[in-house]
Amino acid sequence: MNLNVSVVVPVYNTKQYLQQAFDSLLVQKEFIKEIIIVNDGSTDGSGELLEKLYGKNQLIKLLHTENNGQGYARNLGTLNSTGDYIYYFDSDDIVEPNLFKKFNNALIENPALELFCFSGQSFLDKDTSAKEIVNKSLLSDSSYKRKVNKICKSGEVAFNLLIKNKGFFPGPPFYILKKSILVKNKIKFNSIRYEDEEFTHKLFLYAGKTYITNEVLFKRRVRSGSTMQKSGNFSDIAGYFEIVNSLAKLKKLNFISNETKQTIEKRIINFLKLIIQLRTIKKISLSKNQKKTYKNFLKPYLLKYSNLKTFYYKFPFEYKIRNLKKRFFN
């Protein structure tokens, strides 16, 4: 048995979910070295409840900070971790009771393993109606399925395989990773919106031997108050700008294959389209300076990719027409 997993859990105003979330971890305590909880300035009593429930638990390190965001909390937890492997867990979700046993078995069979990838399944919170969920695809049974069972010689090979099979997900709770990947390559979570996207791309490209299983070992709660359900603003767009910039840098890495470079380029184009869609669909209003930033960022890409330029002008118009049709003919 390898007791070398540090579980890092940022907590921010999730009081009603904490006990269920941590119970799902603690039933597997024989496979966990430590659980590091970072209370990120919660104002709903989460910090007090954590102290009451787990303050004296020898397995748990409980840290309290001002509200600095999920990325900061994960970085702090990583800094305080002592395990060889890290699992980033979210405090409103649930892990299956055999997650760490499965990982332990995979590690025994593959001692050089650096990245363990598994499938997940979403579930609707009991206090949330499906009508409140903006992105209905989150409720699909296939939303977080890998569709692949394979051991890859590197994270880069796994990255291309998962992208091809539509089984690549940015959420850190879908991975157990070797801490040395982060340390050697100075990878951390940046303080931006959608920091998971930037982090996970780096993780895969720098990871060694990677194990992929289609087995569901994690359950993601879908609720109306979660970060994923918040309305859009310029910080969302700025977050995607940073992801595109990060991908552009990763594309220049001298050790990646041409296939990987092509995969990254396609993802850059898809993120740029997502930015255009986001601003249109969520009707994000921009200040004068924000409009300038938006146009200046997109300009070189619109000049480089003719299909993106077409999409830039075409999508807002088509979206408006679709809404008018729904309004008058449905």
Higher-scoring residue by pLDDT: 314, 2: 314
pLDDT tens-digit map of 139-160 = 566 679 999 999 999 999 999 9
Angstrom distance (rounded) from CA 251 to CA 265: 7
Nearest by Cα to 97 from 38, 20, 181: 20
Is residue 90 scored above 90 in pLDDT?
Answer: yes
Confidence of residue 230 (pLDDT cuts 50, 70, 90): low
Angstrom distance (rounded) from CA 161 to CA 24: 30
Whats the size of the chain, residue-wise?
Answer: 330
Helical H runs in the chain? 18-26, 46-54, 70-79, 99-109, 155-164, 179-185, 195-206, 234-250, 258-281, 288-304, 306-329
**Sequence ranges of the domains in the chain:** 5-229, 234-329
Using a 10 angstrom Cβ sphere, with 0-12 exposed, 13-18 middle and 19 or more buried, the burial of residue 227 is: exposed
Distance of alpha carbon 136 from the chain centroid: 18
Is it true that domain 5-229 has CATH number 3.40.50.970?
no
pLDDT tens-digit map of 293-314 = 999 999 999 999 999 999 999 9
pLDDT at 59: 96
Q: Which helix (H) or strand (E) holds 121?
A: strand 115-124
What's the average model confidence in pLDDT over 82-111? 96
